[in-house]
Amino acid sequence: MREITLSKAVNEALAEEMRRDETVFIIGEDVAEAGTPFKVLSGLVEEFGTARVIDTPIAEPGFMGLAVGAAMTGARPVVDLMFGDFIFLIMDQLCNQAAKTHYMSGGKLNVPLVLRTNLGATRRSAAQHSQSLHALVAHIPGLKVALPSSAYEAKGLMKTAIRDNNPVVIFEDKLMYNDKAPVPEEEYLIPFGEANILREGKDITLIGTSSMVQVCERAAELLEAEGISAEVIDPRTIVPLDEETLLASARKTARVIVVDEGHQSFGVTSEIASRINEKAFYHLDAPVMRMGAMDVPVPFSPALEDLTVPTPEGVADMARKLVAGEMIHAA
Amino acid sequence: MREITLSKAVNEALAEEMRRDETVFIIGEDVAEAGTPFKVLSGLVEEFGTARVIDTPIAEPGFMGLAVGAAMTGARPVVDLMFGDFIFLIMDQLCNQAAKTHYMSGGKLNVPLVLRTNLGATRRSAAQHSQSLHALVAHIPGLKVALPSSAYEAKGLMKTAIRDNNPVVIFEDKLMYNDKAPVPEEEYLIPFGEANILREGKDITLIGTSSMVQVCERAAELLEAEGISAEVIDPRTIVPLDEETLLASARKTARVIVVDEGHQSFGVTSEIASRINEKAFYHLDAPVMRMGAMDVPVPFSPALEDLTVPTPEGVADMARKLVAGEMIHAA
Amino acid sequence: MADTKHNSEDYLRMYSQMVRIRAFEDNANQLYLSAKMPGLTHMYSGEEAVAVGICEALTDNDRITSTHRGHGHCVAKGADFKAMFCELLGKEEGYCRGKGGSMHIADQSHGNLGANAIVGGSMGIATGSALRAKMQGSDDVTVCFFGDGATAQGLLYEVMNMAALWSLPVIYACENNGYSEYTKTEEIAAGSITARAEAFGIEAHSIDGQDVLAVNDLTQKLVARARKGEGPFFIELKTYRYHGHHVGDINRAYYRDKEEEAIWKEGRDPIINFGKWLEGEGVASPEELKAIEDEIRAEAKAAVEYALEAAYPDASEVDMHVYAATDPATLRPDA
Amino acid sequence: MADTKHNSEDYLRMYSQMVRIRAFEDNANQLYLSAKMPGLTHMYSGEEAVAVGICEALTDNDRITSTHRGHGHCVAKGADFKAMFCELLGKEEGYCRGKGGSMHIADQSHGNLGANAIVGGSMGIATGSALRAKMQGSDDVTVCFFGDGATAQGLLYEVMNMAALWSLPVIYACENNGYSEYTKTEEIAAGSITARAEAFGIEAHSIDGQDVLAVNDLTQKLVARARKGEGPFFIELKTYRYHGHHVGDINRAYYRDKEEEAIWKEGRDPIINFGKWLEGEGVASPEELKAIEDEIRAEAKAAVEYALEAAYPDASEVDMHVYAATDPATLRPDA
Ligand SMILES: Cc1ncc(C[n+]2csc(CCOP(=O)(O)OP(=O)(O)O)c2C)c(N)n1
Ligand SMILES: Cc1ncc(C[n+]2csc(CCOP(=O)(O)OP(=O)(O)O)c2C)c(N)n1
Ligand SMILES: [Mg+2]
Ligand SMILES: [Mg+2]
């Protein structure tokens, strides 16, 4: 199968959906001629014109608000938010308006929009351009949250997001834009709420999101060399969350580590760990362990930044301890 | 001891600190003559004048930004955010600026400010005036988060918050403003990161935050009548979190329920449950159970709204099941 | 009064619509005072000529966004009393199945995109609706209602910039009632409100919001021009709210005095004055106007009684409508 | 040029400061091109007269807030090359101990409240600093630097409203370099930028940002008036950035052409033109100016070398400075 970059995969998904449905449009800063600073959208304005690939002023709350209004009245906007860190600027429009409109209107109004943005540190971009803030939106009922972990996932999830009748937030990993993966030429969509088992195993389950799926896969390889068999699962969407698949794996392996690039405290790993603890408790041989990013603003210095995110070695280490029963001492 | 309302307790804390330190000031909408819609600040403008009790235009991001700048340059602002739901409007100033400035400046700049706001549903105020959004700020390193559960707590925590050299967010429960509790005449402060054991017990631990402390206490009374001895703990601050006290109780009772009024998913209960599971796993007889608000926007209709928040009966029910070992079937 | 031609039917409909709003609010206030209404609500009484003057210049296909003080806009855009009172009381037959209440009320089928409890919260929504209209080649216009206090929200300037850059068919209607909660406008608004729109190259007007014909006249002209792509526009409407900021705001002497209230209520009431004009022009007699009012008040009373008896939504509704359904067929590759 | 009186020392310091900025940026660019600098950075080259003209009108007690394009402001407000290059390279001796990097650089001890990676993110901070000054009776002034693109952020209008209402000692300095990333200003800014400030009752000026004396002259006057409580003020400074939006933005033909760049670089360079003027006025000879530049360039080179060798922060620093310490003694009831 041909291999394309994550960047290209997102671009294809958008182009296909814009061809299929003329109510789909893109709005954001420098999305047209510039194709975004990450060049993910290059070429789209040439095909769809500036009426459907709309460059905005630097007014995130404003254009997010426009997207909500357009979505409520019959369009399907894809909002481009240049950095995930800017989500703080649009929280009111996203969480007080988009997320609640369907419910507050008693089901009468829909807000079918996609907010595409990114996450991920280690790009030396410092504290305001490196955050992974998906836990915040996952906390707000009415929003769906997708976390693609490869080019294949990015394309399939984006297409589903655009067709979904709700506000969907997709966080791409900034560091993965140039990563290639096999992506079929034929059209496909990836349904929300269906986790992907990337690797079957029996000793321990590694649940990873976004770029942390790669980290878990590499950890699994390290562990395999030592005779530890790790199962690797990517939930794909954290809202809705495919509890069944996660629970089945936890019940099978009896040991689980959840790895995510958001801050650990009050984050995604806490939610997934809690659900597994609650519903598979008596099957577990060890506590579900969480590995998130450190609870510190992301430092600029390379000497510090790399310490803040989970690594394959770190995950493998933790797995070894769990398998060896060493977490007993922690308790 | 005299009993005063939570409202009066907050008012006293502010007055005392403003007398003690002339760099303390209050800024927000209708805080001066009107004393806020909840009348919590009544009388302060008379004593301290409009230069220190400042009425602003309806510009939450703006006055939050002003507070950050004033705090960075030598003042101690107390920002009044009329409803906790408006925190979405000020997230950038709070989370990208206030929370990160100390770290990003390598420790050179401080942002000693207090954001006082509220949480709590069942006031028939619908989805945009009823949220309990403390989990969101707790996720952001650099912010401290206090959740007073009574007039006594509100006064002591507010005074500590004002003297703390960091941005502190205090969420008061809107429904508790008129609730009275004994509050000493003498000055006192409540340190951050020290949980309060309100009731000792041996069969189960009920951890409650804010108004849910009352819910847990009432549940404990119901349980006591049936011979179940419940320990009730109020963490007081969720950042910093007094893990030691929570863990010690969990190890003792072997069963824990965490109750909080924020949405359950990706919320405060997940974090506390995860920490206990991680660090007291082998002492637990049952999974740590979470009881948060339902994952739905808060509905206006009284017939629906009351269903969305944890109740004493619901907590007692869950406790009975845990004590009876019934959660085994859930697993 | 205004110079746009109207026929008697138009005049009487405007009169009726204003009376409907006043009657709705009087009943809502009573419901609150008699503790039959859950929560709080913000009365539109006194500002009727704004909502009616503007909405009577719109078609059902045109959209509006509304505010926390939204009953007037809702009635003016064509809503029915029963479904409104049901909403106010949290009943299943309400426009939002009781889930929205006063602050989110809207008759969606008449193009009302919703009241909003976030001050300024709908400015983006209105502008986005206009963007959609332009993009899809539809000639509908969107009116964004908001208060003088809301002009402090930065969002307004962000969306006016885009509306101006892209000539969107949106009309920003600033209801300047002189107060933002318990604070006078002059204490919280520097400079000039209309100049703020003009600075973005937006044509701005400031008019008497108590004169329904003047409001309607100007709006008709601007709507017609907006349909042709000459938008956006900004209108400041000088008006007054008769009640407190919300129904519970009874003792308001500390921020505004009774004389001021009297001047507006007695001298500038939009309904009384328009009624007198109709009489003077021979459009209707005092008796005819009284009959209109009586009929409306009776309808309101009946609707209140209906709503009081109506059923609450079933408990099972609590987690319905969090997410809209998506037809699985549309999620197939060949869809 | 300007009419405020200066002595030669002032002139030469302004010249030197502009050359310092240029030299700093040339070295930063080289560090990037030779892959020695982590991340990206935004060059201030071409805009030197803005930062220097303004900061030379300020004392160390006056504050500034800066932007993503913040090296120029940092140098102009008195920072040292070594600590700046150390910061750029993430070293412990950097102004922010390497934790901030280019986008958060600041010599805090000279009143720089920080570069900011959120466009418009420091508008509230600057205005709040001015509020503190007024409240505490201090006569310092705060200058808020931001770009033309940042005028699209609603926050600006929120804080200008408050600054105007309360006569705060803040000067909004809009560096209009014609571009917001890869987009021309006229495509994203409707109406007039200065009119937007004037609509809030703020006195606004638009001047040539390439003329350091004109900038300094105007700023001196406005600062003096702001100290007396006559603020706030707004200045639009017309300028140009020589490099791409950031150091990696090399192929920019699709959004601006080489001729335009040449016109500014060759005809309107703030350093060359001021140098010529100094020569013409007999303040300094070409050789003297050359000597100044050589010395600065040597200093920059040495600072780069120093920074390249300097130590990274220790791993233990990673979770330091998340929270500031609070002296336990102040938390006692009797404190
Ligand atoms: C973002 C936000 N801030 C504050 C409030 C509280 N609040 C509700 S109405 C109001 C005053 C609004 O004044 P104005 O816009 O003039 O409308 P009016 O009430 O006069 O119709 C305020 C401050 C809110 N609902 N939303
Ligand atoms: C809130 C926010 N939105 C977008 C960006 C990305 N961004 C960085 S600089 C920039 C352009 C800023 O333009 P302008 O204000 O004119 O400053 P200039 O770069 O021209 O100096 C943009 C869009 C950002 N950093 N912050
Ligand atoms: Mg008003
Ligand atoms: Mg610019």
Task: Express each pLDDT in B244-301 by its tens digit.
Answer: 999 999 999 999 999 999 999 999 999 999 999 999 999 999 999 999 999 999 999 9
Nearest by CB to D318, from A29, A61, A304: name it.
A304
Please compute the mean of the pLDDT values over residues A25-48 and round it to a whole number. 97
C-alpha of residue C123 to centroid of ligand 1, in Å: 13
Q: What is the mean pLDDT of residues D163-187?
A: 97
What is the phi/psi pair of residue B207, to 5°?
A: -100, 120
Beta carbons within 8 Å of A167's beta carbon, 6+ residues apart: A71, A94, A98, A99, A111, A112, A113, A114, A115, A142, A143, A144
Spatial CA neighbour of B235 closest among B206, B262, B264:
B206
Q: Which ligand is nearest to the CA of D177?
A: 4
Query: For residue A326, what pLDDT is reported?
Result: 80
Percent of chain D with pLDDT over 90: 97
CA of B183 relative to ligand 3 center, distance in Å: 39
Residue B79 amino acid letter: V
Q: Are residues A149 and A259 in the same domain?
A: no
CATH number (domain holding residue B265)? 3.40.50.920
C333 shares contact with chain A (CB less than 8 Å): yes
Q: Which pLDDT score is estimated for D318? A: 98
Asked if the model's pLDDT at residue D196 lies above 80, the reply is: yes
* Structure confidence by residue, pLDDT tens digits, C60-119: 999 999 999 999 999 999 999 999 999 999 999 999 999 999 999 999 999 999 999 999
- Which tokens belong to A202? 């029996």
Cross-chain CB nearest to B126 (options C97, C117, C119): C117
Tell whether D108 lies on the interface with B, counting CB pairs under 8 A.
yes
The CA-based angle A127-A129-A132, given to 5 degrees, is 85
Would A189 be classed as within a structural domain? no
pLDDT at D176 over 60: yes
pLDDT at B7: 98
Measured distance CA(A222)–CA(A172) in Å, rounded: 26
Contact residues, C window 203-262, toward D, CB-based 8 Å cutoff: none
Residue type, C95: Y
C152, C160, C202: residue with CB nearest D158? C152
pLDDT attached to residue C206: 98
Question: Is A26 part of a structural domain of the chain?
Answer: yes
Which of A135, A154, A182 is the last residue in one of the domains? A182
Rounded to the nearest angstrom, the distance between the alpha carbon of D138 and the centre of ligand 4 is: 32
Partners of chain D (3+ Cβ pairs below 8 A) = A, B, C
Separation in Å, CA A122 to CA A85, A178, A303, B112: 14, 15, 10, 29
Task: Please judge whether C104 and B57 are an interchain contact, meaning their C-beta atoms are less than 8 angstroms apart.
Answer: no
Within a domain: A214? yes
pLDDT in tens, B43-97: 999 999 999 999 999 999 999 999 999 999 999 999 999 999 999 999 999 999 9
For residues A97 and C303, give the distance between their C-alpha atoms in angstroms, rounded to a whole number. Answer: 30
Per the prediction, chain C carries an average pLDDT of 96
A313 alpha carbon to ligand 4 midpoint, in Å?
A: 44
Distance between CA atoms of A44 and A55, rounded to whole angstroms?
12
Active site residue B102: no
Report, as an integer, the average pLDDT of B101-114: 98
Q: What is the DSSP string of D3-49?
A: -S---HHHHHHHHHHHHHHHHHHHHHHHHHHTT-SSS-----TT-HH
- Contact partners, residue A177, CB within 8 Å, separation at least 6: A5, A6, A7, A38, A40
Residue A327 in this model has a pLDDT that exceeds 80? no
Q: By C-alpha distance, which of B163, B130, B160, B136 is closest to B148?
A: B160
Task: Tell which B residues from 122 to 161 touch C, by Cβ distance under 8 Å.
Answer: 123-129
pLDDT of amino acid B203: 98
Distance C94 CA to ligand 3 centre (A): 27
Residue C170 with chain D: CB contacts under 8 Å: none
Does the pTM surpass 0.95? The reply is yes
pLDDT for B330 beyond 70: no
Report the mean per-residue pLDDT for chain B: 97
Q: Are B95 and B145 contained in the same domain?
A: yes
In a mutational test of the A interface, the residue from D37, D148, D155, D181 whose CB has the highest number of chain A CBs within 10 Å is D181
Q: Is the CB of C177 under 6 A from ligand 1?
A: yes
Which of the four pLDDT bands, split at 50, 70 and 90, describes residue C334? confident
Token digits of residue A249: 């794996």
C135-181 confidence digits (pLDDT tens): 999 999 999 999 999 999 999 999 999 999 999 999 999 999 999 99
pLDDT reading at B119 higher than 70: yes
Known catalytic residues of A are 60, 129
D181-199: average pLDDT: 96
* CB-based contact, D121 to chain A, within 8 Å: yes
Does residue A59 fall inside a structural domain? yes
Q: List residues, by chain if needed, whose CB lies under 5 Å from ion ligand 4.
A: D 147-149, 177, 179
Contacts with A187 from chain C: Cβ below 8 Å:
333-334
Mean pLDDT of C226-252: 97
Residue for token pair 């067929």: C329
Number of domains, chain A: 2
Same domain, A61 and A205: no
Catalytic residue among B17, B60, B153, B305: B60
Average pLDDT, chain D: 97
User: Is A254 within the bounds of a domain?
Assistant: yes
Mean pLDDT of the A302-324 span = 97
Tell me the CA–centroid distance for residue C150 and ligand 1, in Å.
7
Q: Which domain holds residue A224?
A: 196-323
Whether C315 and chain B come into contact, CB under 8 Å, resolves to yes
Buried residues in B8-40 as b, exposed as e (16+ CB within 10 A): bbbbbbbebbbeeeebbbbbbbbbbbbbbbbeb
Q: Which ligand 1 atom is nearest residue C47's CA?
A: 21
Q: In this predicted structure, what is the pLDDT of residue D303?
A: 98
B330 domain residue, yes or no: no
Q: Is D39 on the interface with A (CB under 8 A)?
A: yes
Ligand 1 and B85: CB distance under 6 A:
no
The CATH number of C8-330 is: 3.40.50.970
The answer, yes or no, to whether any atom of ligand 1 lies below 6 A from the CB of C214, is no
Written as six digits, the tokens of B124 are 């028939």
Cβ proximity of D152 and A59 under 8 Å: yes
Which residues pair with residue A204 across a beta bridge?
A230
Q: For ligand 1, is residue C171 a contact (CB within 6 Å)?
A: no
Q: What is the pLDDT of residue B328?
A: 61
pLDDT at A329 over 60: no
C165/D188 Cβ within 8 A: yes
Nearest neighbour of B271 by CB, restricted to A262, A265, A327: A265
pLDDT over 70 percentage in chain C: 98
The neighbourhood of ligand 3, an ion, using CB within 5 A, equals: C 147-149, 177, 179
Which residue does chain D place closest to B240, by CA atoms?
D323
Tell me, yes or no, whether B107 and B22 share the same domain.
yes
pLDDT tops 60 at residue B13: yes
Burial class (CB in 10 A: 0-12, 13-18, 19+), C71: buried
Does residue B258 sit in helix, strand or coil?
A: strand
pLDDT > 90: percent of chain B: 98
What is the Cα–Cα distance from A295 to C76, expressed in whole angstroms? Answer: 52
**A residues 290-309 lying closer than 8 A (beta carbon) to D:** 294-297, 299-304, 307-308
- Digit-coded pLDDT (tens) for A151-160: 999 999 999 9
Final residue in a domain of this structure, among A117, A152, A182: A182
Q: Examine the domain organization and report whether A154 and A208 are in the same domain.
A: no
What integer pLDDT is reported at residue D1 of this predicted model? Answer: 45
Could you give the CA distance from residue D218 to residue D2 in angstroms, rounded to a whole number? Answer: 8
Q: Does C231 touch chain B (CB under 8 A)?
A: no
pLDDT band per the 50, 70, 90 thresholds, residue B28:
very high
- In the structure, what pLDDT confidence band is assigned to residue A324 with cuts at 50, 70 and 90? very high
Query: Percent of chain D at pLDDT above 70?
Result: 98
- With cut-offs at 50, 70 and 90, classify the pLDDT of residue D310: very high
Cβ contacts (< 8 Å) between A270 and chain B: which residues?
Answer: 266, 270-271, 273-274
Spell out which residues of chain D touch residue A61, defining contact as CB-CB under 8 Å.
154
Q: Are residues B54 and B175 in the same domain?
A: yes
A14: left (phi over 0), alpha (psi -120 to 50) or beta: alpha
Amino acid in the structure at residue D152: A
pLDDT at position C121 is 98
- For the sheet containing B24-28, what is the strand order? B53-55, B24-28, B76-80, B114-119, B168-173, B144-146, B237-239
Please give the pLDDT value at position D335.
85
Average pLDDT over residues B193-208: 98
pLDDT tens track for D253-262:
999 999 999 9
Nearest-by-Cβ selection for C331 from A61, A75, A189 = A189
Q: Residue A203: how many CB atoms within 10 A of its CB?
A: 17
Q: Is C7 or B198 the better-scoring residue by pLDDT?
A: B198
**What is the average per-residue pLDDT within A108-115?**
98
D155 interfaces chain B, CB cutoff of 8 Å: yes
Spatial distance between the Cα atoms of D67 and D50, rounded to a whole number of angstroms: 13
Q: Name subunits touching A (3+ CB pairs < 8 A).
A: B, C, D
Q: Note whether A223 and A169 are same-domain residues.
A: no
Banded pLDDT at C6 (limits 50, 70, 90): low
Helical segments of chain C, H only: 8-33, 48-55, 71-76, 81-88, 123-135, 155-165, 185-188, 193-198, 212-227, 258-262, 270-280, 286-309
Ligand showing the shortest atom-to-Cα distance for residue D120: 2
Confidence band of A328 (pLDDT split at 50, 70, 90): low
pLDDT of residue D334: 85
* % of chain C surpassing 90 pLDDT: 97
Q: Are residues A111 and A249 in the same domain?
A: no
Q: How far is CA B30 from CA B23, B62, C43, C59, C254, in A?
A: 21, 15, 19, 38, 12
**How many Å is the Cα radius of gyration of chain B?**
20
Assign residue B106 the CATH number of its domain.
3.40.50.970
Between CA A40 and CA A32 the distance in angstroms is 11
pLDDT for position C4 = 53
| Res. D298 pLDDT band, cuts 50 70 90 | very high
Q: Which residue of A has its CA nearest to C125?
A: A69
D118–A contact, CB cutoff 8 A? yes
Section A274-278 average pLDDT: 97
